[in-house]
Structure 1
Amino acid sequence: MKKILMVCEAFGGGVFTYVSQLCNDMVDNFDVYLAYAVRPQTPKNYRDFLDKRIHLIEVDGFNAGNLLNIANDMKVIKALRKIEKEVQPDIIHLHSSVAGGIGRIAFKGKNNTVLYTPHGYAHILMEPSRKTKVYGMMEKFLGKYSSATILTCCESEDDVTSKITKNHTYIETGVNLKDLSESLDGIRPVENEKFTVFTLGRVTGQKQPKVFNRIAELVPEARFVWIGGGEQENLLTAPNIEITGWKDRKEALAMAKGADAYVLCSRGEAIAMSLIENMYIKKLVLVSNVMGNKSVINDGVNGYVCNTPEEYADRIRNAMKKFPTSLPENAYRDVLTTYNTDVMKEKYIKYYNSL
């Protein structure tokens, strides 16, 4: 079997879910190795999520979480090259920005194929800063001079990539329908007296809480809920917004099932898992017209793509008068046919075998 070396520094959150699922899905067809770092966001029992056939290699010093510590980066590059020499992989697949930056310097692709999946470019997702400028310059430089192919999670992220390198393609992200269905079984929706609009995740600049707050101000007759918490909670000042704080998955799903509409007004995404999950739950979804979101949602067909708070507000008010039932149904069907791990698995097996 071909040997695949997955390299992941950002082993937490959505990237953890993606990479662990991908590793598990590939072990029947490939010899899978995973070089990783443990972050605070990494589940304590992360080994329980991974098939026992996966060869785990923890990389010391890989969890610095940035590309700006040159001395540490050199140590990690040396460690990764040693792993490459010992494993002798046919394919090296780098996941997220730090692994993508350091990995494309460490691996030259002379005796293997190097792939890089950004999971959303950091310089696009994060608020502008010195760090994001450096990351943006790094992506352009490595896109031009590295031999790696950039393998993105959706068409609109691939469109962004086309301005960085000629070597690029995409495979759509998906959710595990069996796990999601089992998670939803027996969960009773939280009942709401008012039309309820919600979002889910950390309250950070990437999720644009200012925009969410403005939408709530424009539709005072509706109830708005932010499931989660974070450092920018102070920006959610509208009197009809409730911030729940972090909830366990069962409670969050119950709140989602009971709500009417899901809003994702982020600065950018690869593909948000929460978006796919709420399409499966048959929520009316309204998203920002940005990388990731606009690949999944076809405006007026399976949800709404919005450019301004006023657009969101108009769509929500119209839905309160006459709910567009066909849109959630279409979104649900899209998950069954495209945005699930069964489809993703078959595409990855075919792609890896083609290299």
Structure 2
Amino acid sequence: MKKILMVCEAFGGGVFAYVSQLCNDMCDTFDVYLAYAVRPQTPKNYKEALDKRIHLIEVENFGHLKNPLADIRLVKELRRIEHDVKPDVIHLHSSIAGGIGRIAFNGKNNSVVYTPHGYSFVLMGKKGSLKMWMYKQMEKILGKRNCITLTCCKSEDEVAKTVSGRTAYVETGVNVEDLSASLDGIQPIRDERFTVYTLGRICVQKQPELFNRIAELVPEARFVWIGSGELSDKLTAPNIEITGWKPRKEALAMAKGADIYVLCSLGEAIAMSLIENMFMKKLCLVSEVMGNKSVIKDGVNGFLCNRAEDYATRIKEAMKVFPASLPQQAYEDVIHIYNTREMKRKYIEFYNSICK
């Protein structure tokens, strides 16, 4: 079997879900190795989520990136792992592994792949303009290395082409069977009012000020933000409820009881919450940005919006006549495109095509 070495420093949150699913899916076809770091966001029982056939390698120096000497030690450790494993493909996940990994590995004896899981210079927005510029320049420099940038959708691939020499993309998907099983036993938490909701950390990327303005424009609707974050004080509209972080089962129950899902972020790779809401047949209103615009086709399976007034108009229209055909098409798209079965097939094809 060909060997795949996954390298992941950001082993938590959405990246953990993505990488663990990918590792598990590849085990039947490839010999899979995972070089990782345990972070505060890493689930305590992370080993239980991984197939027993996966070779786990905890990278000691991922946790000590504070100075150039630490970076040098990390590069040496990664090269030692490469020497011991002798992989056919090295797949780097997220920005830290992608940055150090593209320095450590030259791609002479194998193929090196980098998946950013959302470019930081896009997700920061204008408020991070200097940092944004610096990150973009770093991506351009590293993009000249012997490496393929593999993104999660077409619109992220278009961004990748501005900073990388070689690019490709494989659409992210959810495990339809697992999600369906999770939803089956959950009773929706409903409210008599028409409910618009979003989910995630209340931070710059998710544009809470925009969400707040939408709520102000539709005072007759109930708005819910499931999550918490440093910009909670930006959600001041009287018809907004901030729930704080909820267990997944309770969050799904609240989602099932809502009418519209809003994702007004600055950019995404592909938001797993968006795919899940499409599967739940929610009407999805999303910002016309990287990631979102690859998944949602305006007026076909949801709506693309640019201004608060655009969101407000669609919400008011739905309150009068709900466009049921759009959520139904969104569900069909998950069944045929944005699922782990299709993702697995495309990944196997991709890895086999680049094995040296």
Per the TM superposition, whether the score is higher than 0.5 is: yes
Partners of 2:46 and 2:67 in 1: CA distance: 27
The residue that corresponds to 2:87 in the other structure is: 89
CA deviation digits over 1:194-227, x for unaligned, max 9? 1000000111111010110000011000000000
Distance 2:73 2:231 in 1: 35
Residue in structure 2 matched with residue 27 of structure 1 by the alignment: 27
Give the counterpart letter for 2:51 in structure 1: D
One-letter identity of the residue aligned with 1:12: G
Count of residues paired in the alignment: 352
What is the alpha-carbon distance in structure 2 between the residues aligned to residue 277 and residue 186 of structure 1? 16
Where in structure 2 are the equivalents of 1:119-134 lying within 5 Å? 119-127=117-125, 128=128, 130-134=130-134
Residue 88 of structure 1 aligns to which amino acid in structure 2? K
The one-letter amino acid of 2:35's match is A
User: Which runs of no fewer than 5 residues in structure 2 stay unpaired?
Assistant: none
- Amino acid of the structure 2 residue aligned with 1:287: V
**Structure 1 runs, 4 residues or longer, greater than 3 Å off:** 129-133
Letter in 2 for 1:197: V
Say if 2:42 is the partner of 1:42: yes
For each residue in 1:109-162, what CA deviation from the matched residue of structure 2 results, as whole angstroms up to 9, or x when unmatched? 000000000110111112415543332211011112x01000000000001111
**Distance in structure 2 (CA, Å) of the matches to 1:132 and 1:61:** 26
The alignment status of 1:339 with 2:338, answered yes or no, reads yes
Q: Does residue 314 of structure 2 align to residue 300 of structure 1? A: no
Structure 2 CA distance for aligned equivalents of residues 81 and 14 of structure 1: 27
* Counterpart position of 1:202: 201
CA distance in 1, matches of 2:120, 2:45: 27
- 1:264-298 Cα offsets, whole Å, 9 max, x none, are 00010000000000000000000001000000000
1:138 corresponds to: 138
Q: State the Cα distance separating 1:61 from its structure 2 match.
A: 2.4
Cα deviations by residue, 1:14-33 (Å, 9 ceiling, x for unpaired): 00000000000001100000
Q: What is the CA–CA distance in structure 2 between the aligned matches of 1:352 and 1:126, rounded to whole Å? A: 31
Letter in 1 for 2:14: G
The equivalent residue for 2:220 is 221
Moved more, 123-132 or 54-63: 123-132
Secondary structure at the residue paired with 1:61? helix
Give, in whole Å, the separation in 2 of the partners of 1:288 and 1:22.
27
Give the Cα–Cα distance (whole angstroms) in 2 for the partners of residues 78 and 299 of structure 1. Answer: 48
Letter in 2 for 1:102: I
Cα displacement string for residues 32-77 of structure 1 (whole angstroms, at most 9, x for unaligned residues): 000001111000110000001100000012135x7x7423221111
Q: Residue 16 of structure 2 corresponds to which residue in structure 1?
A: 16
Residue identity (%): 70
Separation in structure 1 between the aligned mates of residue 242 and residue 121 of structure 2, nearest angstrom = 28
> For the Cα contact (< 8 Å) 2:61–2:77, is it kept in 1?
no
Whole-angstrom distance in 1 between the partners of 2:41 and 2:269: 19
TM-score (ref. length: structure 1)? 0.97
Q: Which runs of 5+ in 1 are unaligned?
A: none
Measured in 2, the distance between the counterparts of 1:132 and 1:102 equals 19
Distance 2:133 2:251 in 1: 35
State how far apart, in whole Å, the 2-side matches of 1:129 and 1:167 are.
26
Tell me by how many angstroms 1:178 deviates.
1.1
Partner of residue 118 from structure 1, selected from 116, 119, 136: 116
Distance 2:56 2:203 in 1: 32
SS at match of 2:91: strand
Q: In the aligned structure 2, how far is the partner of 1:135 from the partner of 1:344?
A: 29
Q: Distance in 2 between matches of 1:6 and 1:113?
A: 12
Per-residue deviation, 1:185: 1.2
Post-superposition offset of 1:191 = 1.5
Q: Equivalents in 2 of 1:74, 1:190: separation in Å? A: 52
